[in-house]
Structure 1
């Protein structure tokens, strides 16, 4: 049995979506981040970085969302080619999400909604930096998706699952997809998938 410790955030949603897409039996344990449960045992003893998501496969804990997605895809034999160039392409787009999409969009969300938000002291330099980088990354996706159905090519993979929840959060970031029609089409097609809808619902407490 797989047990997922998660919360209703883009990183948490990645894994609930993947579990539904792959049809793997699992349990979901919602971690109350506001109450600091991520810093308390037993979660803190299993996750060195004290962050969700965390997957426990039998007795083995696996942290970091990208590593979890690879583990699940390999376990099920779906959504990630077993070897070769096709696998490499999926991993490149997955790591772009892990290394750039998540950190940049996450910082933009933070400076819009937490740091100085509602106190009349927004950090304009941070908002400009992370807003500009978010638009640049959307441009990378737009160029890729103009002639590709999905990020890694013709097939839906864990690279799409990883990026979709972050792109879906664009209204909270004050970003419109009107200038990125290929990205908007890609996101709409993914959101319409029944397993994606189940995964988004599963991430909610």
Structure 2
């Protein structure tokens, strides 16, 4: 059984898509990132980066004690290896997949995340002039969709000529194109790919998960809002938790 430490964001849904596609039994352990669950002493033992997703495999490859993994790319490579699915072994195909995995983690996710951050910051109206940040990351996100459009030229899938973890890792972020100052019609290959991947039953199930974990914003008291803001805004290094001593 896999414990999946999850919150319904694109990063969380990368892993649940693969678990559903590979039919690997798993149990969701919700990590409310708005509340700060990711910064607790217990979770930092699993993910010292203080970010979800993470997994604990209680029946790991090769046996032995439970295996913990953080970082979505490493998790997906492990689960693909464990299941024997969605990551070809032939070197040309294997590294075609790998390069898209690392592209997603170094480019698509971070740049789109930063764009979202600065758009929210600008909308708040109390953080000064955000014009350069918006220009920078709007352009980067446009470039990123262009990279995918090139990668999908005359290809059904991103890598290896087949559906792989490369598609699964890129799909959840790519679905968030709305409100990103771009026209998806500029990227017809991406649009076609999104439509096709989105029709897969496992993808539909994984993408639908989430509303049951979210809280009603009206239920969060002003004191709790202030606590969360202090905890989560402008994070710096975490001290070693005293609970670890």
With structure 2 as the length reference, what TM-score do the two structures score? 0.80
Residues paired across the two proteins, number: 204
Is the deviation greater in 122-131 or in 7-16?
A: 122-131
Q: Output aligned runs, 1:1-205, within 5 Å.
A: 1-58=1-58, 59-113=66-120, 115-119=121-125, 121=128, 123-204=130-211, 205=213
* 8 A Cα contact 1:109 1:172, kept in partner: no
* 8 A Cα contact 1:111 1:122, kept in partner: no
RMSD: 1.3
CA distance in structure 2 between the partners assigned to 1:89 and 1:47 by the alignment: 28
Following superposition, the deviation at residue 117 of structure 1 comes to 2.1
Q: Which has the higher contact order (CA 8 A, sep 6+)?
A: 1
Following superposition, the deviation at residue 42 of structure 1 comes to 1.9
Point out where structure 2 has 5 or more consecutive residues left out of the alignment: 59-65, 214-245
- Secondary structure of the 1:23 match is coil
Following superposition, the deviation at residue 43 of structure 1 comes to 1.1
Following superposition, the deviation at residue 116 of structure 1 comes to 3.4
CA 1:96 to 1:117, structure 2 compared with 1: closer, same or farther past 3 Å?
Answer: same
Point out where structure 1 has 5 or more consecutive residues left out of the alignment: none
CA distance in structure 2 between the partners assigned to 1:44 and 1:149 by the alignment: 39
- Deviation per residue, 1:134-177 (Å, 9 max, x gap): 11111111122121101004201101001111110111423321
Name the counterpart of 2:226. Answer: none
- Deviation per residue, 1:103-152 (Å, 9 max, x gap): 11111111112x23232645111111111111111111112212110100
With structure 1 as the length reference, what TM-score do the two structures score? 0.95
